[in-house]
Structure 1
Amino acid sequence: MLEVDRLDLHYGHSRILDGVSLTARPGEVTCVMGTNGVGKTSLLKALAGRHPPSGGEIRLDGVPVTGLPAQAKARRRIGYVPQGREVFPLISVRENLETAYAALPRAERHVPDEIYELFPVLHEMRHRRGGDLSGGQQQQLAIARALVLRPRVLLLDEPTEGIQPNIIQQIGRVIARLRDRGDIAIVLVEQYFDFAVELADRVLVMRRGAVTLSGGRDTISRERLLAEVSV
C-alpha cells in the first residue's frame, strides 16, 4: 500500500504541491483528476522519485521512501509510466523492455510472458525500433516496460493522451486486468473523464496543487465529479 501524507513540492520559490494526501491500495485504481497545471504530473514525479518533495511523507507498506531517488524507488517496485512515454527511439522494443532490468535482481531479468499476452503487438514488433512504432504502440511499450519491474505500485500519467480509440480501449482493459489481480496499487492521472470514471475505485481531484475532493468513486456522484474537474 502506498500512503502519501501532506506532501509539499516546490520548484524554486513556486509551490507546486500543497499538503497532498492519498492512499493507494492493492487491487484498486486511485484516479487523480483536475485541469491542466494543477500539479498532477508533479505529484507522480514526486512519487516516482524524479523530484524530491519539500515536505510531507511517502510510505510504501509503512516504510518511509520519501526522499529516495527514482532508481531506488524502482528497486522497491514502484513502476512509472511518464507523460510522453519516454520510449528510446533508436533501440528495439525488446531492448526498451530490457532497460527495466537495471532495477531487478539478476534472477528476475527476463520479460514475463504475461506482458506479451497483454500487448501482443509488442511481441510481433519486438525487433522493431521504438521510434518506428505508432503513438499507441509506444504507449503500450511504456506501460509494458514498467510492468517488467513486477511493480507493487504502478503510476500512470495520462496513458490515453494522443491515442486512437481502439488502443484506449485496450489500455483500459489492461488496467482493469491488473487491478483485478489484486496485488498492484494503481495511481492513474487522467483527463479523459469517461475513461477515468469507468476505472476509478477512488478519486482525488486537485486544484492549484491541493486536494479539493477525495473519496470512493461510489460515494461521489458523476455530476459532482464532472463539475469539480471542469472548474
Structure 2
Amino acid sequence: MLKTEDLTLHYSGSQILNGITMGAETGHVTCVMGTNGVGKTSLLKAISGTHPRSGGRVVLNGEDLPHLPSHQLARRGVGYVPQGRMIFPLLTVRENLETGLSCLPRAERVVPEAIYDLFPVLREMENRRGGDLSGGQQQQLAIGRALVLQPKLLLLDEPTEGIQPNIIQQIGRVIAHLREEGKMAIVLVEQYLDFAYEAADHFYVLDRGSVAMDRPKADLSKEDLAASFSV
C-alpha cells in the first residue's frame, strides 16, 4: 500500500504540489484526475523520485521511502511508466525490457514469460528496435519494462494518450489482470474519462496542486466525476 503525507514539490521557485495526502491500496487501482497543469504528472515524479520532492512522506508497504533517485526507488519496488513512454529507440524490444532488470539481484535478471503473455506483440517483435514500433506498441513495451522489476507500486502516467482504441482495450485488460493478482498498488493518471472510470476503484481529483476530491468509485457516478473538473 502507498501513502503520501503532505507531499510538496517545487520547480525552481514555483510550488507545484501543495501538501498532497493520498493512499493507494494493494490490489486496487487509484486514479488521479484533473485538468492540464494541476500537478498530476508532478505527483508521479515526486513519488517515483524522478523529480525530488520538497517535503512530506512517501510510505510503501509500511516502509518510509527516503529522498532517493528513481533507480534506487525502483529497487524498493516503485515501477514508473512516464508520459511519452521514454523507451530507448535504438535498442531492441528485448533489450528495452532488460534495462528494467538492472534493479533486481543478478540471479533474478530474466524477463518473465508473463510479460509476453500480457503483451504478445512484444514476443513477436522482440528483435525489432523500439523506435520502429507504433505508439501503441511502444506503450505496451514501456509498461512491460516497468513490470519486469516486479513492482510493489506501479505508476502509470496517461497510458492511453495517443493510442489506438484496440490497444487501449488491451491495456485496460492488463490493468484489470494486475489488479486481480493483488500483488501491487496501481496509481493511474488519466484524462480519458470512460477508461478511468472503468479501470479505477478510487479517485482523487487535483486542482492547483491540491486534492480537490477524494472518493471511492462506489460513491461516485461517472457523471459526478466528470462534473468535478473539465475534461
Q: Same fold (TM over 0.5)?
A: yes
In the other structure, the counterpart of 1:43 is: 43
Give the alignment's Cα RMSD to 1 decimal: 0.9
Q: Distance in 2 between matches of 1:223 and 1:174?
A: 25
Distance 1:225 1:6 in 2: 24
2:100 aligned residue: 100
The structural deviation recorded for 1:227 is 0.7
| Match in the other structure for 1:193 | 193
Equivalent residue, structure 1, for 2:83: 83
Structure 2 residue 69 is matched with structure 1 residue 64: no
What is the letter of the counterpart of residue 149 of structure 1? L
SS state of the match for residue 151, structure 1? coil
Name the TM-score, length of structure 2 as normaliser.
0.98
For 1:5 and 1:181, the matched residues in 2 are separated by 27
Q: Which residue of 2 aligns with 1:224?
A: 224
Residues 69-100 of structure 1: CA distance to partner in whole angstroms, max 9, x if unpaired? Answer: 10111001110000000010001000000001
Letter in 1 for 2:127: H
Q: Secondary structure at the match of 2:23?
A: strand
After superposing on structure 2, the runs of 4+ consecutive aligned residues of structure 1 that deviate more than 6 Å are none
Measured against aligned partners, the alpha-carbon deviations of 1:177-231 in whole angstroms (never above 9, x if no partner) come to 0011011100000000000000110100001100000121111222221111217
Residue matched to 2:16:
16
Point out where structure 1 has 5 or more consecutive residues left out of the alignment.
none
Moved more, 153-162 or 68-77: 68-77
Paired residues of 2:93 and 2:126 also in contact (CA < 8 A): yes
Show CA shifts across 1:35-65 (max 9, x none): 1100000000111111111111101122111
- After TM superposition, give the deviation of residue 66 of structure 1 in Å: 3.8
Contact map agreement 1:82 1:157 (CA 8 A) in 2: yes
Cross-structure match for 1:204 = 204
For 1:172 and 1:62, how far apart are their aligned partners in 2?
A: 28
Letter in 1 for 2:205: V
Residue identity opposite 1:158 in structure 2: E
2:100 is the alignment partner of 1:128: no
* Native 8 Å contact 1:53 1:66 kept in 2: no
> Is the 2:94–2:126 Cα contact (8 Å) retained in structure 1?
yes
CA displacement 1:81-135 (0-9 Å, x = unmatched):
0000001000100000000121010111001111000000000000000000000
User: Could you tell me which residue of structure 2 aligns to residue 170 of structure 1?
Assistant: 170
The two structures have a TM-score, normalised by structure 1, of 0.98
Q: Supply the AA of the counterpart residue of 1:116.
A: Y
Structure 2: how far apart are the matches of 1:13 and 1:56?
18
The answer (yes or no) to whether the contact 1:136–1:167 under 8 Å persists in 2 is yes
Contact 1:115/1:147 (<8 A) preserved: yes
Question: Does the 8 A contact of 2:16 with 2:42 survive in 1?
Answer: yes
* Partner SS, residue 141 of structure 1: helix
Partner of 1:25: 25
Report the AA paired with residue 138 of structure 1: Q
Contact 2:101 2:111 (8 Å CA) reproduced: no
Deviations 1:153-183 (A, max 9, x none): 0000000000000000000000000011011
